[in-house]
Structure 1
Amino acid sequence: MMSLFQTKAWQSAWWETWGNQKGFRLVSEWDGQVSGLYESRYRLKGVLPVRSLQFVGTSYRELRTPRTEYNQFCPDNLSGQLLLRKMEQVLQAEPWTEAVFNDLRTGSEELSALVTIAAKHNWAFRITASDNGYAVSTSGSFDSYLASLGANSRLRLYNRRKVLESLGHVREENLWPSDVDTFFQYLNRFHLERWKKNCVTPTSLEFHKKFLSRVEEEGGKPVLSALYCDDRVVSVLYDVWYQGVVYN
């Protein structure tokens, strides 16, 4: 299934905010089914010239931007030899020094195809990093989900609600689209208290606002929720619903 990060909304907003500004060259454009590819040129350690092929939304050495995950080379309906041939065509279409493909799914056919293609062409191949993602199925009832949790998790997630409710009137409000700037101000405030730095910079705020304004055209639903106790905001969550999945 195509993820939120392959939408034209996410890819075009990222490209306009960072790709164009950095002078990257778009190699293959996103089509709502796959990640776009671009080429950047830089000098490693200021000396060695490098032509780097990467997914739109990612940057191996040059930028720090919101993370683009669950990337894809090809549509979901390609597999086996068709997938292998398509990926090989993509990798042979452009000259490059390094090709860095962040956040492909572990165990995916695409990752296996990369290993096969690299061996065939005698290209060096390595995994630079790995990470864990977390998902909760919401296909069953909420009561069944709570019952599946350990006692400590259930206590932290749910059973302490009464403590919060004893402090005042609790309500939740979606600040999209009426008060986007205020939402991100709250997000930065909480992030500063916890991590001593802003979560969103002026440049990334520009990106998020472009993305959120466009994703609705592709069926996405932004949920910029603020939790109030009386009239004081005590928590915020940045979520987007897309094709039956809520991305946080």
Structure 2
Amino acid sequence: MLSVQPVSEAGFAAMAEEWRMCLEASDANPLFMSWPWLYSWWETWSQVLGMELVLLGVVDQQGKLVGIGPFCRRVLVTPAGIRVARLYMLGNAWRLAPTVRTEYCGIIARRGYESDVTAAIVPALEELGWDELVCSDVPDDRLENLRAGGFDERRGYRTIHRTDDTGIRINTVGRFGDWLDGLGKHTRLKAFNRRAYLKKRGELAFLGYDEGRDEDFFERLNGFHRNRWGKPAFDREALRFHRLLLQRLHLCDGEPAMSLVLFNGRCVSVLYDLLVRGCRYNLQAGYDEEFSTKVSLGYLHLGFAIEAAFSHRATNAYDLLAGTGKKQFYKSHFHGEAVHFSTFQVVRSPLLKALYGIQAASPPFVARAFIRRVGL
């Protein structure tokens, strides 16, 4: 009853509204699976990485878009001379090059059409020339959805798990004070109580970026990161991506929620958040690492932002996303729900299945050397 239609690059560029309507009627992530995010990613990195668009639209008998399969393809030739046609979920370039991180990846399907859309997309993908499909940062339930659609070992596929990661999502429906009470005493001290310590010593302010603008936000963010990590948070391509995204964010009913912390009129911390359909996403942060040995500016700024999310009636969650800190998984201290992500390969090439089988059967140091030599 459903048909699959390949979407051209011109069609991708023109389908923002149709994409928005399909996404709103689905349970897919409203930021990372949105047209503004994925089209901005494609516009930024497709030519740099030599990607071919593999975008599949699923329509019903009336021609209404009920599902989207967002993929792209790259043919690689490894140092060992092995030709590999690799499919990626749009928004990631696993082991190819660093880009922005796209989380909550998966197939988009209107509610009630999930199994039918997956069952339509999988055969359409099978008709294309590829050796392996890489799915990055997929919520755990999406793996089972793909298997149900036909990507399982009974049909000759091999699924190889590569990495698992965890994010933290805070429910901001309720009282901020109740959430604070649920924190450990050390986290509560760093995220909230240190405000009193700073206010005794000067003027402390939490401002939206538009209220306290004194220079380019991303230049300030990159400056803090160079001092802390030795490199900017966003390189040239990533900066282009985020500027394009901010221009288009309204097309997925989103808005920027960037903020500053000032102490005695000086910016000491920045937070790059986006608010989309009731969830505030924390994409990046930067602060003056040498500000004070008694104050953790990262925790302090997050405390302000989470309080703002509790105070905003239309916001129901604050998502810290996946990733660890410099020394520890600090996000787990913030009394939120864990969200588990998987990165895995679906392999159908007999040669690659054999090579990955050798890797799996080898001791770790041998496996690493083997994969480096083969170039996979």
The reply to whether TM is greater than 0.5 is yes
Q: Which runs of 4+ in 1 moved over 4 A?
A: 29-35, 78-81, 176-181
What are the Cα deviations for residues 106-163 of structure 1, in whole angstroms up to 9, with x where unaligned? 1x1x311334522232112111111001111001110110111121221111111112
Question: Tell me, which stretches of 5 or more residues in structure 1 are unaligned?
Answer: none
Change in CA separation of 1:80 and 1:169 when aligned onto 2, cut-off 3 Å: closer
The 1-side partners of 2:211 and 2:137 are apart by: 30
Say yes or no: does 1:99 pair with 2:125.
no
Question: What residue number does 1:204 align with?
Answer: 238
Deviation at 1:185, TM superposition (A): 1.2
Kindly report the root-mean-square deviation, in angstroms, between the aligned alpha carbons of the 2 structures: 2.4
Deviation at 1:183, TM superposition (A): 0.9
Deviation at 1:83, TM superposition (A): 5.0
Change in CA separation of 1:218 and 1:83 when aligned onto 2, cut-off 3 Å: closer
Question: What residue number does 2:174 align with?
Answer: 140
Question: What residue number does 2:316 align with?
Answer: none
Whose strand fraction is larger, Structure 1's or Structure 2's?
A: 2
Deviation at 1:222, TM superposition (A): 0.6
Deviation at 1:175, TM superposition (A): 2.6
Change in CA separation of 1:94 and 1:181 when aligned onto 2, cut-off 3 Å: farther
The 1-side partners of 2:214 and 2:91 are apart by: 22
Deviation at 1:205, TM superposition (A): 0.6
Question: What residue number does 1:247 align with?
Answer: 281
Deviation at 1:27, TM superposition (A): 0.9
Change in CA separation of 1:72 and 1:99 when aligned onto 2, cut-off 3 Å: same
Question: What residue number does 2:163 align with?
Answer: 129
Say yes or no: does 1:25 pair with 2:59.
no
The 1-side partners of 2:118 and 2:166 are apart by: 26
Deviation at 1:170, TM superposition (A): 1.9
Say yes or no: does 1:111 pair with 2:143.
yes
Preserved CA contact (<8 Å) 2:66 2:109: no
Question: Tell me, which stretches of 5 or more residues in structure 2 are unaligned?
Answer: 1-26, 58-64, 283-376
Deviation at 1:218, TM superposition (A): 2.1
Preserved CA contact (<8 Å) 1:189 1:198: yes
Say yes or no: does 1:167 pair with 2:193.
no
- Of stretches 114-123 and 134-143 in structure 1, the one that deviates more from structure 2 is 114-123
Question: What residue number does 1:8 align with?
Answer: 35
Preserved CA contact (<8 Å) 1:224 1:238: yes
* AA of the residue aligned to 1:123: Y
Q: Percent identity?
A: 28
Q: Which has the larger radius of gyration?
A: 2
Change in CA separation of 1:193 and 1:71 when aligned onto 2, cut-off 3 Å: same
